[in-house]
Amino acid sequence: MGRRRKTSYQETRKGGKSAIDSDIDTDIDECTSASAQLGSKSLNQFLEQLYEKRGSTREAALSSIVQSYSLGYQYQFSEKKFSELLYQCLKSFKRGSAKESCLAVEALGLLAITVGCGENGRELYRESSAVLSEALNTESQPRKLKLILENLAIITFVGGNESEETESSMQSMWHFMHSRADIKEAQSAAIFSWSLLLSTMDSWSLSYKHWRGAVPFFKNLLELDHESTLIGARQALALIVELGCLEKFEGDTSATEEIDVEKVSKDGFVPEISVKIGTQRLKVNSLPQQIQVNFLKRLLGSGFVTHMKENELLHDVFNFKPEKRKSGRELYVVERDEVAINIFVPDVRRENSFQRIHKSQNSIFVKARTQIRNKNRDIRGEELWCSGD
């Protein structure tokens, strides 16, 4: 996958339960709704309806697309109709009613989760991040602002391959926290979204100039009587402490802005989270990982389990290997290929070489990984055909 991460997915794609949630061992039942089984034929019909002049028709179509993407993994449709869906959603976001605009931005975030970190994910980020960031300065409805913040975060999480791109979205959220503080629901969404992106960063890649004063800012929020904002501020402070780069987040008068590291670490600590995925369990025990899994659970709702079973982006994010489905009518076993590549990178050039070898869209790692995944998707299709599904 072409996703930019400052270390490996196994090390950085840590996501999960924030310091807020108390249900540590959460069982999520599989979604059995018939709407989760919407086929590509229905999705094609909904896409066609986005061209209709009647706003209510477009709203209904977007609602059905959001439901389908939330509850099921619509990868093939997304790959085939990516550009068309992307630009129709952007059009609805810019020109539609408040309801249509909200549904369109939800669809964009779900599309990002579905297409993953390849070229489509990059294009989605390039085409929508500036539009969503600008909307944060002009919109006034709390619900719409909340959706913009959350989906800007997930679009950047997936498609923002460079640290500068991630920090650009974080800056938009940071500006919003300060300039729109009166909209409490949206401000707390900005904090959680900002923390999601921070959870993907390495301390060395963070800019000194952007985040000076973050510690005293979040400490002041601890005095507010707004539960969601209070929880987000605690989580953000705990994450800053865990990253180990307080000097990039403290203010200029450190004597009056000292942070109680031990207390914040304790407040932000959450025991291991265990989420039931069919007969398996997804376990996360680090704060960055808890932040990420919690964010995705809120976005996907009851469809989180389905995506964890089928979505390769989430498999990479959480290093999760779903069990292979067994069939009572196995005609043959398809072989799968794996490739291991060993490359010597001298220490003196390690940082620049790692970026080029592991993260470039043209790198041998990305090309080999893409070839194998395309082959395995074909294999899964053969397996489903042989099993009679």
Same domain, 336 and 198: no
In this prediction, residue 345 has a pLDDT band, given cuts at 50, 70 and 90, of: very low
Check residue 341 and give its pLDDT: 39
**Averaged pLDDT score across all residues of the chain:** 79
Give the pLDDT score at 296: 96
Average pLDDT estimate for 274-291: 91
What's the pLDDT score for residue 74?
A: 95
pLDDT score recorded for residue 5: 42
Tell which of 318, 347, 377 closes a domain. Answer: 318
Residue 365 covered by a domain: yes
- Domain membership flag for residue 360: yes
Single-letter amino acid, residue 78? S
Q: Is residue 188 domain-shared with residue 253, that is, in the same domain?
A: yes
150-175 confidence digits (pLDDT tens)? 999 999 999 998 999 999 999 999 99
CATH of the domain at 71: 1.25.10.10
Does residue 194 form part of some domain?
A: yes
Q: What is the pLDDT of residue 119?
A: 96
Handedness of CA 110, 114, 119, 122 (dihedral sign): positive
* 25 strand-pairing partners: 274
Same-domain status, 202 and 120: yes
In a domain? residue 384: yes
Whether residues 253 and 350 fall in one domain: no
Give the percent of the chain with pLDDT over 90.
57
> Is residue 323 a part of any domain in this protein?
no
Do residues 311 and 333 both lie within one domain? no
- Count structural domains, the chain: 2
- Residue 199's contacts (CB-CB under 8 Å, 6 or more residues apart) are 12, 14, 15, 239, 287, 288, 289, 291, 292
The 10s digit of each residue's pLDDT in 45-89 is: 999 999 999 999 999 999 999 999 999 999 999 999 999 999 999
Which of the listed residues 283, 318, 353 is the one where a domain comes to its end?
Answer: 318
Amino acid found at 305: V
> Region 328-346: what's the mean pLDDT?
43
Whether 267 maps to a domain, the answer reads yes
pLDDT of residue 28: 37
Task: Please write the tens of the pLDDT for every residue from 316-336.
Answer: 999 999 987 665 444 444 444
Structural domain contains residue 91: yes
Range of the domain at 361: 329-389
